[in-house]
Structure 1
Amino acid sequence: MTARPTGADRADLIADAALALLAERGMRGLTHRAVDERAGLPQGSTSNHARTRQSLLEAAVRRLAEREARVLLPGTLPAGDGGGGPGSGDGLVAALAHALHRYLAHHRELLVCRYELALEATRRPELRSFYDATGLRFRAPLVAMMTAAGSPEPERHALSVVAWCEGLMFSCAAGSYHRSVPSEAELRTGFEELLRGLLGHPPAPGAARRTGARS
């Protein structure tokens, strides 16, 4: 007989089930009972772990950030095959394009969850604070990336990169491009154009290495 997960494993199982329900059924489909059923846990297990809807939503936000970090944070990015090593400007562009393509092509359900939770946060001030605080883990690495790339205004340029990526992700997840995810090569060209436009020059050599990207 398979042992039931406990502790952190059970918390992850519950949060993953919550994310799966958000992606499939939307916010109305996220209930404690539905999470129990999806996770294959005895009735009441989710309520014991997250007694209120707020705590269940917070668990989903926390787990979403953990799973997105595996795909998107600079320290997890491979160099890609763009012709430059991870320490070159080309390597940085290739790494970013690889990560974004991986997200769009293989983790679209996480994008749907992101938008479901972001919209819910606009209606729940207590979730808004938690959502924003959790999202801060992505800001510092991006600002560091822009600094290493030679940006004279890394905070502002980081916002521009976020806006460009967010627009593309929404278009591919829920907008008019949901049936046609850009290729990795197309994304690489897009990042090259974006960074050249922001910086006035290609990313500085060594930018990917200094932000922690690895092959």
Structure 2
Amino acid sequence: MPVENSSAPSPRTALIADTALTLIAERGMRGLTHRAVDEAAGLPPGSTSNHARTRLALLELAVRQLARRDAEILTPAEFPDPADGLDALADSIATVLRRLLIRRREHTVARFELALEASRRPELREIYDAAGQGFRDLMAELMAAAGSTEPERHALSLGAWSDGVLFTCTAGPYHGRVPTKEELRERAGELLRGMLA
């Protein structure tokens, strides 16, 4: 998902957005209200409404904050030089997935909740897709650098596989088990070699 370069929000706005993400992960969409954000963030009543008047505005804050948080770990610097080969790329993919499954597990759950909500709300879909464009571009660039003659198609395959791992290990049948980095590296390597060898 989301890697975008929008300007950083104010500390209060960031607190509201981060709290919204936490509530979405813990309680689902029904648990996300302006009042719940105020209470969970320890803010005076009405604070969230002052920053995001509508539910859509609150969801937009959450989506944009998720993009910023993901951008902290999903950067071009995380990935190796193409000359280092597919094993090095698989290692970087495994590292990022482990971070999303362990350090950013809450955000990973919130991402899936927001994606489902966006599928029902066209106005949120536009925001969600725009926030994730940078990540999709990065994946296509990585695939092109790795030698793909169809980088968009291979980026879609890599993204779908990564999302499948994240979903399965957070909300799916393997939610209680996080694969080791070695397991993820091996599986990512298999995928990359299948696409690009």
**Alignment TM-score > 0.5, same fold:** yes
**Within 5 A, what are the aligned runs for 1:160-175?**
160-175=157-172
User: Partner of 1:45 in structure 2?
Assistant: 47
User: Partner of 2:128 in structure 1?
Assistant: 131
Contact 1:72/1:100, CA 8 A, preserved across alignment: no
Distance 2:122 2:148 in 1: 34
Distance 1:120 1:144 in 2: 29
Considering only CA atoms, is the larger Rg found in Structure 1 or Structure 2? 1
For residue 45 of structure 2, give the secondary structure of its aligned residue in structure 1.
coil
Task: Give 2:90's match in structure 1, choosing from 88, 93, 114.
Answer: 93
Does 2:24 match 1:22? Answer: yes
Structure 1 segments, 4+ long, off by >6 Å, are none
User: Partner of 2:148 in structure 1?
Assistant: 151
Distance 2:177 2:76 in 1: 25
The farther-off stretch of 97-106 and 53-62 is 97-106
The letter for the 1-side match of 2:30 is R
User: Partner of 2:178 in structure 1?
Assistant: 181
The letter for the 1-side match of 2:158 is V
The letter for the 2-side match of 1:66 is R
For residue 71 of structure 1, give the secondary structure of its aligned residue in structure 2.
coil
Task: Give 1:103's match in structure 2, choosing from 96, 100, 105.
Answer: 100
Name the CA shift for 1:87/1:70 in 2 (closer, same or farther; >3 Å). farther
The letter for the 2-side match of 1:65 is A
Superposed displacement of residue 74, structure 1 = 3.0
TM-score (norm 1): 0.83
Task: Give 1:54's match in structure 2, choosing from 56, 59, 66.
Answer: 56
Contact 2:105/2:170, CA 8 A, preserved across alignment: yes
Distance 1:87 1:62 in 2: 33
User: Partner of 2:3 in structure 1?
Assistant: none
> Gapped runs of 5+ residues in structure 1?
1-6, 80-84, 201-215
For residue 72 of structure 1, give the secondary structure of its aligned residue in structure 2.
coil
TM-score (norm 2): 0.91
Superposed displacement of residue 86, structure 1 = 8.3
Distance 1:86 1:9 in 2: 38
The letter for the 2-side match of 1:147 is A
Report the identity percentage. Answer: 60
The letter for the 1-side match of 2:153 is R
> Gapped runs of 5+ residues in structure 2?
1-8
Superposed displacement of residue 73, structure 1 = 3.1
Distance 2:79 2:50 in 1: 39
Contact 2:91/2:185, CA 8 A, preserved across alignment: yes
Distance 1:153 1:78 in 2: 19
For residue 151 of structure 1, give the secondary structure of its aligned residue in structure 2.
coil
Distance 1:74 1:177 in 2: 29
- Alpha-carbon RMSD: 1.6
Distance 1:188 1:72 in 2: 16
Task: Give 1:10's match in structure 2, choosing from 5, 8, 12.
Answer: 12
For residue 184 of structure 2, give the secondary structure of its aligned residue in structure 1.
helix
